[in-house]
Structure 1
Amino acid sequence: MAPSTGIIGDQSPNAFDVVPVLDLKDGTVVHARAGKQARAGKRAEYRPIATPFAPPHDAQAIARALLGITFSPTLYIADLDAILGRGNNYELCQALADALPGVDLWIDAGFCNLDDCAFWLPLGATLVIGSETVQSLEDWKTIRDNFGANLVLSLDFDEQGLRGPKELMSDLDLWPQRVILMSLGRVGTETGPDFDLLRTAVTNARGHHVYVAGGVASYDDIRAVADAGARGVLVATALHSGAVGQNEIAALRGERRSQS
């Protein structure tokens, strides 16, 4: 896969992407589900995914199915082993990059410094830098200054607010063009996105592309996120359950394209 050179896909004013999410752990695709077996947002408790698309060890087949449903130019991959600091799934990510030419892989692997980022550069992927893993504002600035357009900043929120340097939410001059609002406590819960957080971010965004992650349960959720001014939404549970399908996403894309 060639190195990313910036934002790809539809750049019309009303463009909106439904970005599928693939969580990897121990070489398989896993999934967060709130309940007795896995508390939402607790990555160590994610279990092999149960999906109609393919077995959990067949990441390529699952990825192709998700991309087919969403028409997305982008696939978000969270390497939970790397985020948890217990190895990584680099070879599996490389296999996905080889199998999906033309797809912009967004890799979240717990990046906290330049060395972490440099290890993953041969993939030619876009690096997702989570605020929860950035140890200082200076570390973020160093990463941003070195990687620029090949970065996405994930602003990670829990019940106490933003994880990481607080300036990342208050000073938009620190943002790259693409920013994810990640509600960690809502992941796998299907309780709906944090619309208050989204409205605040979009109001101040000044041309930044804002994406929403966590809690998306239905087509109505996705449509509401789009209507609130986001550039896209990250989805996993609703795709695997069938709550959101290809026809609905195609209709939303066509409607927004006609408005441009």
Structure 2
Amino acid sequence: MQVIPVLDLLDGHVVRAVRGERDAYRPIESRLAATSEPLVIARALLDASGARTLYIADLGAILQRGAHATTLAALRAALPGVELWLDAGFTDYASMRALFKHIDTLAAPLTSLSPLVPVFGTESLCDHHALHAAQTAGLAPILSLDHRAGALLAAADLDRSPAWWPSRVIAMTLDQVGSYAGPDLATFERIRAQAPAHTTVIGAGGVRDRNDLAVAAGTGATAWLVASALHDQQIERARSA
């Protein structure tokens, strides 16, 4: 089971996400580092997990309070070889392309930059054709199927069939995030059963320890997004198995 650490950004800090209640998020207090500075925490999460992939939720952008473009450019420059998955509340391909271009401009003239992968979350996405456009542009996009209380969160009336899903999909249960309530395996298994054969489904939220990872792996999950259990050192040096 691959552990993919999560970096939640808000107002210039890494914050602790709890049940998707974003108004209550506060700068992270982590056993991994005595700071909420994004680069320090990013390196600590990668070291704690052994991962070469980092999921970034730009909550400032998702909440329409401004993207952390300068911070994202700095992370790209400082973490070469680490694949950065970015959810910044993209509504369509144009909004994604504009932010990526801005980050590229801020990172120039550096050439050794981390790969940046767009994550389109259904809570923000208004045009599902964005996934195809991003795929055509060679960006290998990821779709996050955002849920709360078992129901899909969708900013628009998206096509509910899986025909347009890309090769990687996240089963995101926001009310399990940071809850220490265990992973939402029912939602994960339902999405995995619907997914086309070429699609990998990645879990998110609720993992408390290695036992939860083992149970999730038993349902067919190969990767899970994790934050709190890493910050609290409930999982140490978890690696792909």
Instruction: Verify same fold: TM over 0.5.
Output: yes
After superposition, residues 68-79 of structure 1 pair within 5 angstroms as 68-79=47-58
Q: Report the Cα offset of residue 160 of structure 1.
A: 5.7
Q: Which of 180, 201, 220 matches 1:210?
A: 201
Specify the alignment match of 1:58 in structure 2: 37
Q: Which runs of 4+ in 1 moved over 4 A?
A: 165-168
Instruction: Give the counterpart letter for 1:109 in structure 2.
Output: A
Contact residue 149 and residue 175 of structure 2 kept, 8 A: yes
Q: Report the Cα offset of residue 202 of structure 1.
A: 2.2
Alignment gaps of 5+ in structure 2? 105-114
TM-score normalised by length of structure 1:
0.81
Specify the alignment match of 2:226 in structure 1: 235
Specify the alignment match of 1:31 in structure 2: 16
2:29, 2:16 → 1: CA distance?
A: 8
1:199, 1:84 → 2: CA distance?
A: 29
Deviations 1:27-72 (A, max 9, x none): 1111124xxxxxx211122100001222434211211111112221
> What secondary structure does 2:172 align onto?
strand
Contact residue 93 and residue 131 of structure 2 kept, 8 A: no
2:161, 2:93 → 1: CA distance?
A: 22
Going by fraction, where is helix more abundant, 1 or 2? 1
Change over 3 Å in CA distance of 1:175–1:209 after alignment to 2:
same
Q: Report the Cα offset of residue 203 of structure 1.
A: 2.6
Contact residue 32 and residue 41 of structure 1 kept, 8 A: yes
- 1:198 to 2:188 alignment: yes
Change over 3 Å in CA distance of 1:218–1:68 after alignment to 2:
same
Contact residue 31 and residue 233 of structure 2 kept, 8 A: no
- 1:130 to 2:121 alignment: yes
- Identical amino acids, percent of aligned pairs: 38
> What secondary structure does 2:169 align onto?
strand
2:58, 2:37 → 1: CA distance?
A: 15
TM-score normalised by length of structure 2:
0.87
Q: Which of 92, 95, 99 matches 1:113?
A: 92
Q: Report the Cα offset of residue 166 of structure 1.
A: 6.6
After superposition, residues 1-260 of structure 1 pair within 5 angstroms as 16-33=1-18, 40-122=19-101, 123=104, 124-135=115-126, 139-141=127-129, 143-148=130-135, 149-159=139-149, 161-164=151-154, 170-205=160-195, 206-246=197-237, 249-250=238-239, 253=240, 256=241
Q: Report the Cα offset of residue 231 of structure 1.
A: 2.6
Alignment gaps of 5+ in structure 1? 1-15, 34-39
Change over 3 Å in CA distance of 1:214–1:27 after alignment to 2:
same
Contact residue 30 and residue 56 of structure 1 kept, 8 A: no
Deviations 1:105-132 (A, max 9, x none): 0011000022210122244510110001
2:191, 2:232 → 1: CA distance?
A: 29
Q: Report the Cα offset of residue 234 of structure 1.
A: 0.2
> What secondary structure does 1:132 align onto?
coil
